Amino acid sequence: MSNQKNTSAGHSPSTSQQKDLDAIIRELIAELESKMHFFIEEENVENNLTGKDRRRLFSAGVRNYGFIDKAFDIARDNPDFMPPHFDAIALNANLRQLEDLRQLMLTLQQFLQLVTSAFMLKADFC
């Protein structure tokens, strides 16, 4: 028999492991709250958008994101055809930030799915 402890569904971890996990979860919550407050301040998104606000904004789904990326490539490769008021440097910075936010969103969605699964397993066990 193995000396490893089984923590799958139906088996509970030892008391010391549970205390460690509880401390890690609380530490993670505090860290996420701190990062969230920083993000709110930096991105100026302290209020959720209303339904009306969301409808008037353009999103960057698969099709729009592809269009934005392709338009950027064309603008970068053909600077002579850009309007005079168009700032390629600002466009580049905005596109990089969009890509970073998109990656953050995907990572958070994966994390939320994992936490939801763990929550459901724990609720079932309880």
Tens-place pLDDT, residues 75-115: 888 888 788 887 878 888 888 998 899 899 999 999 999 99
Number of domains present in the structure of the chain: 2
Task: Decide which of 44 and 1 is more confident.
Answer: 44
Can you read off the two tokens belonging to residue 12?
């509970």
- Spatial distance between the Cα atoms of 7 and 22, rounded to a whole number of angstroms: 15
Domain presence at residue 66: yes
Residue 7 within a domain: no
Domain assignment of residue 33, given as a range: 13-57
- Do 124 and 100 share a structural domain? yes
- Do 44 and 76 sit in the same domain of this protein? no
> Which position has the token pair 């930030």?
97
Same domain, 19 and 72: no
Distance CA 7, CA 13 (A): 6
Q: Does 80 lie in the same domain as 28? A: no
**pLDDT score of 57 more than 50:** yes
